[in-house]
Amino acid sequence: MQAIILAAGKGKRLEPLTLTTPKAMIKINSKPILQILLEQLKSVGIIEIVIVVHHMKEQIIGFFGDGSKFGIKITYAEQKEMKGSADAVLAARPHISGRKFLVIACDSLFETEQLNRLLAVKSPGAISVHTVEDARRFGSIVHDGNYVQRIVEKSENPPSKLINTSIYLLPHEIFDACKNVKQSVAGEYWITDAINDLIAQGIKFEFREVKQWVDIGTFEQYDEAQQLARKLGL
């Protein structure tokens, strides 16, 4: 099993922290968030990891190198332009050999056990979800039992309180789906559109709920992440 970590972004809402440091290298207590993710992956037996980089990539590559000092194997893929998550996943395609693999956005902090929940899924794909009271700012899921029927992005009338957390188990078919994703109004290509396309083709995606999770996009969430990291011992 391999994993892709999406670490190309700038993190504009975390400026001025991210003016001189890539978002993936922002420290949660004493560790860069990317290091926390790598340690979590290693703890569940995943040691082959592709990191997608772009913004201030030299800092990330200089710190982690080939991963040997962390007991893992790191390969880097560069996203040439910031064109969204589907484009970022496509950048990693030459380095992925397995039929299924994990994809994680680097701004997610969560309980490590969620990785084991995803790895135990027998279906071709799985999506991590989290329950919130107001799902309008997120992608929420339409589901039937444990199966995802569709991800609905940022709707004024979200179909459920279960939101996508950008922690996935994806089948190799996702790469072709990413190539066929239509460009958004903002000029980006989104992995959720590719997942919706695969579901429409009949490929099964289950969901697994992550109880303890923070999306680190604002300073308030950054503070929450530091508290959660201490609680989880990360």
Q: What is the pLDDT along the chain (234 residues), one digit of tens a residue?
A: 999 999 998 877 888 777 888 999 999 999 999 999 999 999 999 999 999 999 999 999 999 999 999 999 999 999 999 899 999 999 999 999 999 999 999 989 999 999 999 999 999 999 999 999 988 888 899 999 999 999 998 888 888 999 999 999 999 999 999 999 998 888 889 999 999 999 999 999 999 999 999 998 888 888 999 999 999 999
Cβ(47)–Cβ(71) below 8 Å: yes
Rounded Cα distance, 120 and 30, in Å? 31
Structure tokens at 191: 């992995």
> Which residues form the domain of 219?
2-232
For the chain, what is the domain count?
1
Rounded Cα distance, 191 and 47, in Å? 24
Tell how strand 48-53 and strand 73-78 pair up: parallel
pTM: 0.94
DSSP-derived letter for residue 123 is S
The CATH code of the domain that includes 142 is 3.90.550.10
Structure tokens at 98: 């397995």
Question: φ and ψ at 162, to 5 degrees?
Answer: -90, 120
Q: Scanning the structure block, which residue is given the tokens 């989290």?
A: 130
